[in-house]
């Protein structure tokens, strides 16, 4: 793009602008729900983060990965209120569409 002095401007778009704009949902697991996926362990001490269009798409993704062996799904606000119950924090990030 030409500027007023005849030079050019280059525009750099920050990487964050390429990231998904879908909301995050968080899956919790019960005491007996321990999973090994791609070498990672998911259990009651951690939340599994899913990017999805809505909570129903997040639920479908949870069933696809963990079958019925998970406990609850939280939105971002709910997760922030309850993260202290999960000593291992939030694991994984995965985009899912319906």
Using CA atoms, how far residue 55 sits from 17, 96, 97, in Å, is 23, 11, 11
pLDDT in tens, 21-61: 889 999 999 888 888 877 788 899 999 999 999 999 999 99
Distance CA 72, CA 27 (A): 6
Q: Which two tokens stand for residue 19?
A: 């990231």
pLDDT value at position 21?
82
Q: What is the pTM of this model?
A: 0.70
pLDDT value at position 24?
93
pLDDT value at position 64?
92
What are the start-end ranges of the H helices in the chain?
55-66, 76-82
């Amino acid at each position: 793009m030409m500027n007023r002095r005849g030079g050019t401007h280059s525009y750099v778009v920050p990487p964050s602008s390429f990231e998904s704009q879908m909301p995050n949902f968080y899956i919790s697991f019960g005491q007996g729900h321990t999973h090994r996926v791609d070498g990672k362990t998911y259990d009651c001490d951690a939340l599994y983060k899913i990017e999805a269009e809505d909570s129903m798409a997040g639920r479908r993704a949870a069933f696809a990965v963990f079958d019925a062996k998970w406990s609850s799904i939280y939105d971002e606000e709910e997760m922030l209120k309850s993260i202290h119950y999960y000593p291992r924090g939030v694991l994984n990030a995965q985009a899912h569409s319906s």
